[in-house]
Amino acid sequence: MEAYLLDWANLLLRWLHVIVGIAWIGASFYFVWLDNHLVKPESAELKAKGVDGELWAVHGGGFYNPQKYMVAPPNLPQHLHWFYWESYWTWMSGFALFVTLYLFNASTYLIDRRVFDWSTVAGGTASAIAAALVFLSAGWLVYDQICRRFGHKKDGQIGNDGVVLGLIAAFIVLASWAAAQLFAGRAAFLITGAMIATMMSANVLVWIIPGQKQVIADMRAGRPVNPVFGQRGKQRSVHNTYFTLPVLIAMLSNHYGMLYSHAHNWLVLIGLMLAGVLIRSYFVKRHKGSNAWGLVAAALALLAALIVWMAPAAPSPALANTAQPVPTLAQVQAVVEQRCVMCHNAQLAQKNIQLHTAALIEQNAQSLYQQAVLLKIMPMNNATGITDDERALLGRWFEHRTVK
């Protein structure tokens, strides 16, 4: 019953996370696009009101005319819409999902003794959980200090963008490597993505929204507005838009065993995230009227290089020319009993899959083939040490079996 309820919690939290994530990313992408498509108003009335840019758009049968003011309208409206709950709910739902799936089942999902044996550390599993949480908080603290120390000038202005972005990139590479040395490959990918997502949400919580509220408060009180609040908010917003695609690919890629089980999985993750940055950079430039096709070419070349680099070794010519015998069900059952049955039996049926009899192997052949052969997700973290030859045996059996 506990596993059943956890599956429901996993499903519902994942659903919520995807919904609010779409809302947050959609709003972020829209405002970046909007900022880069505003045109100077021609109307003297709009200019007199302080409108610096406007856009006419049509959607769903209606006409829309968003306007951006150089500073603010002469009379601030009482009711202003703030875009921040999308960010907060994305982080909260993601963290709840992380706790439910990875921390609550740390010995299965978070820890891989072949990567790092946490039993040799004081606290064991508890220390692994603490380390995962430290990654999230420390990531934000280091990133924030990079922005403060190298991006804030002595006069309070914002600058040194190239230095700041370079240091952030170096830190993410280092964090990705460290995560892959401490946690199971799948967890390392997710923790790295969650660390960057924490940076993004903390930017909204700590800098963007408080800065906007301070500006509004100063305007209402008739005090001079310090432009640094807008500059700092803009800096963090720009970072967030470049973080978006790397976070998404880190979250999605942990569902593909061929990626996180690679011997150099942290380099695989860095390559995928860099491709995301290049693709997002292209769209940002395109919104400004420049088609930087070189960025697209670089992203595609990088992805192609990853595909070629990670491709499984071709069988030797002698083996390729030798017809492989179709395994018998008895041979399959021998592999399954050694590698799978300890988690998929009458007493413990993970994911409601039982494999302790020949009939049950036949019944669940599709799932066995998908999870153990195609995706290579199971056994989880390859805890039972299934070999490539054994996976190939399962694959040949499934592909040539006669369904009764």
- For residue 387, being part of any structural domain is answered with yes
- For residue 369, being part of any structural domain is answered with yes
Name the domain count of the chain.
2
What is the spatial distance between Cα 141 and Cα 188, in angstroms, rounded to a whole number? 19
Residue 299: what are its φ and ψ, rounded to 5°?
-65, -45
Amino acid letter at 56? W
276 and 368 both lie in a single domain: no
**Structure confidence at residue 94 as a pLDDT band (50, 70, 90):** very high
- Indicate if the pLDDT at residue 64 is higher than 90: yes
The dihedral region occupied by 290, where left means phi > 0, alpha psi between -120 and 50, and beta the remainder, is: beta
- Indicate if the pLDDT at residue 381 is higher than 90: no
* pLDDT at site 188: 96
CA distances, 159 to each of 151, 152, 214, 231 (Å): 5, 6, 21, 9
- Of 310, 339, 374, which closes a domain? 310
Buried b (16+ CB within 10 A) or exposed e, 369-388: bebbbeebbbbbbbbeebee
Extended strands (E) in 231-304? none
- Show the tokens assigned to 236: 């963090």
Extended strands (E) in 25-123? 51-54, 57-59, 62-64, 67-69
* pLDDT at site 323: 66
293 and 151 both lie in a single domain: yes
* pLDDT at site 151: 83
270 and 383 both lie in a single domain: no
- The closest alpha carbon to 82, from 190, 258, 213, belongs to 213
Report the percent of the chain where pLDDT is more than 90: 52
| Under 8 Å between Cβ of 291 and 283 | no
Residue 349: what are its φ and ψ, rounded to 5°?
-110, 80
- For residue 117, being part of any structural domain is answered with yes
272 and 383 both lie in a single domain: no
Beta strands at 57-59 and 62-64: parallel, antiparallel or unpaired: antiparallel
Amino acid letter at 314? A
109 and 213 both lie in a single domain: yes
CA distances, 215 to each of 16, 74, 102, 219, 274 (Å): 32, 14, 41, 6, 35
302 and 216 both lie in a single domain: yes
- Indicate if the pLDDT at residue 370 is higher than 90: no
What is the spatial distance between Cα 99 and Cα 10, in angstroms, rounded to a whole number? 10
305 and 170 both lie in a single domain: yes
- Show the tokens assigned to 84: 């921040």
280 and 143 both lie in a single domain: yes
- For residue 396, being part of any structural domain is answered with yes
- For residue 138, being part of any structural domain is answered with yes
What is the spatial distance between Cα 137 and Cα 197, in angstroms, rounded to a whole number? 11
- For residue 29, being part of any structural domain is answered with no
**Structure confidence at residue 99 as a pLDDT band (50, 70, 90):** very high
260 and 120 both lie in a single domain: yes
278 and 157 both lie in a single domain: yes
258 and 366 both lie in a single domain: no
- For residue 80, being part of any structural domain is answered with no
- Report the largest interatomic distance among the alpha carbons of the chain, rounded to a whole angstrom: 85
The dihedral region occupied by 352, where left means phi > 0, alpha psi between -120 and 50, and beta the remainder, is: left
* pLDDT at site 70: 77
- The closest alpha carbon to 50, from 31, 76, 68, belongs to 68
Note the residue count of the chain. 404
Tens-place pLDDT, residues 165-181: 999 999 999 999 999 99
Region 25-54 average pLDDT: 90
**Lowest-confidence range among 111-120, 128-137, 178-187, 349-358?**
349-358
- Of 310, 341, 360, which closes a domain? 310
User: Could you count the other beta carbons within 10 Å of the beta carbon of residue 289?
Assistant: 8
- Of 310, 337, 370, which closes a domain? 310
* pLDDT at site 57: 93
pTM over 0.75: yes
**Structure confidence at residue 315 as a pLDDT band (50, 70, 90):** low
Among 66-75, 78-87, 89-98, top mean pLDDT goes to 89-98
364 and 306 both lie in a single domain: no
Domain that includes residue 384, residue range: 327-400
Region 246-265 average pLDDT: 90
- For residue 367, being part of any structural domain is answered with yes
Report the percent of the chain where pLDDT is more than 70: 95
* pLDDT at site 103: 93
What is the spatial distance between Cα 25 and Cα 142, in angstroms, rounded to a whole number? 24
